Amino acid sequence: MRDLGAGFTYLLKGQRWVARHGKQYGFGLLPGLITLVLYSAALVSLALWGEDAVTWATPFAGDWSSPWQGLFRGFLTAVLFALALLLAVLTFTAVTLLIGQPFYENLSEKVDADVDPNGTAPESGLPLWRELWISARDSLRILVRALLWGVLLFALGFLPLVGQTVVPVIGFFVTGFFLTEELTAVALQRRGVELRARLTLLRSRKTLVWGFGTPLGLAFLVPFVAVFLMPGAVAGATLLARELLGEETDDGHDDTAGDPEGEDLTQRSWR
């Protein structure tokens, strides 16, 4: 339970950091706004022509009597739109980070330098095109994992009682985990931590990760909120990444203290 609260605290710390650095916050809004416009256009198009698409895809129902034809196609249209919304929530962060790679990379570096006792920030040393390629490749891998979870949870949603109570809760925790992975990747990728090592690191502190990502995922369900929270989410994820790797902050606190597994995980995950 303490880690859940600590994760949420890092989310708040990130928002406070960007509130104190208005210029960084302003630049960090641009990628989210671009992504929002693209996603809004896609969802509006689906709302307008989704029923036509379902009708085209189900010619076998053309001869069904009323009301079964309308109920069947209406159900499929609703399912299609629900899946599109789930996909939008799961991919919004990845697409925004990809579009805003230079912005968020700079923001994350400034957070690192601000809290590091020596005032320095790790650098990947890679050209921008290489960083973009790695980010896109890893985001695609995470998206595949998230989609598999989404399909599984969607199927379990048809179970009586459990599907309407337990499954949605699990879904939010799964979403929170993958959101945190995408956001911490900005800082961890600069440190040379590969995707597999990142996942191992996050799984070792799942309650901390859930405390950060699950409230953020819930907030992202509110229209437009994701755009305004993204800069602070990247800042908070950078602070979270420092704790996961056991790096000291400017108050001299070593986050691996009292965690016998922290040192080993850090060594396995570093470069």
Could you read off the pLDDT of 42-83 as tens digits, one per residue?
888 888 888 888 888 888 877 787 788 778 888 888 878 877
The per-residue pLDDT of the chain, averaged, comes to: 82
CB 21 within 8 A of CB 224: no
Residues counted in the chain = 271
| In the chain, domain spans | 2-269
Distance CA 28, CA 207 (A): 27
What distance lies between CA 173 and its chain's CA centroid? 11
What percent of the chain shows pLDDT beyond 90? 26
Of residues 124 and 39, the one with the higher pLDDT is 39
